[in-house]
Amino acid sequence: MTAALTLTDLVGRHGQLQAIKGLSLTIAANEVLAVIGANGAGKTTLMRMIAGLHPVAEGGILLHGSPVTKMPAHERVKAGIALSPEGRRLFGDMTVAENLMIAAENGRKGDWTLATVCDAFPQLTPLLGRLAGGLSGGQRQAVAIGRALIANPSVILLDEVSLGLSPAAVEGLYSSLAGLKGKVTLIVVEQDLTRAMGFASRLICIAEGVLELDGTPATLTRQQITDAYFGIHKAEEPSHA
């Protein structure tokens, strides 16, 4: 079975700064991957590069074996990649239903429709007629995830899922997200380590644009993750200390 997503020596720049420094990663189909890392580690840049919003300076991206490196973002949606971006980026002067319809009309055809998305995220149903600009943080995040889902992606990227949300809202979102496991490849950027370890089947940690750690929640220790998070290296790599 081909991998859902293959990143090869990916380099992404912000001007002179290398935000992603030759990152390689293979993600299996229907895997649930949590991405953790400090602020400025390059998580969002990586998500934006996979979605086609940030140019790939070097390296390549394969989606189910076919190259998408040069594809603009709207074509990647049609190829099966959907990103729920940092900051949600809803269309504030449009209703929730319209926000979802845009992605449904321009994305791929499949099982996810307005009705099935509302089944998976019941909190959306009473909001459909409301303007997206007037929603709470948790509601906005649910709409943003619904908007990514309704494009019927095979790979779904969720940037900063729980950032700025109340614990209750986070709990509600993750219990809805649990229903997606096994149906799509799920890549989640999550600041909450406990949450990430409890939800994902695989966990990677990025520090300063480099893949520091890659493993499963069962095999990784908290100490390993904390070291990777802060870019602390053991004696075998003194040059970085």
> How many residues are there in the chain?
241
Count of residues that bind other proteins according to CB under 8 A: 36
Least CB distance to other proteins at residue 156 (A)? 11
CB 165 within 8 A of CB 8: no
Q: Which of 4, 5, 41, 151 binds other proteins (CB under 8 A)?
A: 151
Q: Quote the CA–CA distance of 232 and 224 in Å, as a whole number.
A: 9
Q: Quote the CA–CA distance of 116 and 164 in Å, as a whole number.
A: 27
- Is position 82 an interface residue for other proteins (rule: CB under 8 A)? yes
**Which three-class secondary structure state does DSSP give residue 105?**
helix
CA 202 from centre of chain: 13
Q: Which of 2, 24, 57, 74 binds other proteins (CB under 8 A)?
A: 74
Q: Which is nearer to other proteins, 122 or 133 (CB)?
A: 133
Residue type, 225: I
Rounded to a whole number of angstroms, the CA Rg of the chain reads 18
What is the greatest pairwise CA distance in the chain? Answer: 58
Q: Quote the CA–CA distance of 156 and 182 in Å, as a whole number.
A: 12
Q: Which is nearer to other proteins, 145 or 225 (CB)?
A: 145
- Is position 163 an interface residue for other proteins (rule: CB under 8 A)? no
- Is position 137 an interface residue for other proteins (rule: CB under 8 A)? no
Q: Quote the CA–CA distance of 110 and 108 in Å, as a whole number.
A: 6
Least CB distance to other proteins at residue 91 (A)? 5
Q: Quote the CA–CA distance of 203 and 207 in Å, as a whole number.
A: 13
- Is position 128 an interface residue for other proteins (rule: CB under 8 A)? yes
- Is position 125 an interface residue for other proteins (rule: CB under 8 A)? no
Q: Quote the CA–CA distance of 82 and 150 in Å, as a whole number.
A: 9
Residue range at the interface with other proteins (CB under 8 A); choices 34-42, 123-131, 178-186, 194-202:
123-131
- Is position 142 an interface residue for other proteins (rule: CB under 8 A)? no
Q: Which of 85, 138, 172, 209 binds other proteins (CB under 8 A)?
A: 85
CB 104 within 8 A of CB 114: yes
Least CB distance to other proteins at residue 53 (A)? 6
Draw the binding track, 19-58, toward other proteins (x: CB under 8 A; -: no contact).
--------------------------------xxx-----
Provide the binding-site residues for other proteins, judged by CB under 8 A. Answer: 51-53, 72-75, 77-78, 82-83, 85, 89-95, 97-98, 101-103, 105-107, 128-131, 133-134, 147-148, 151
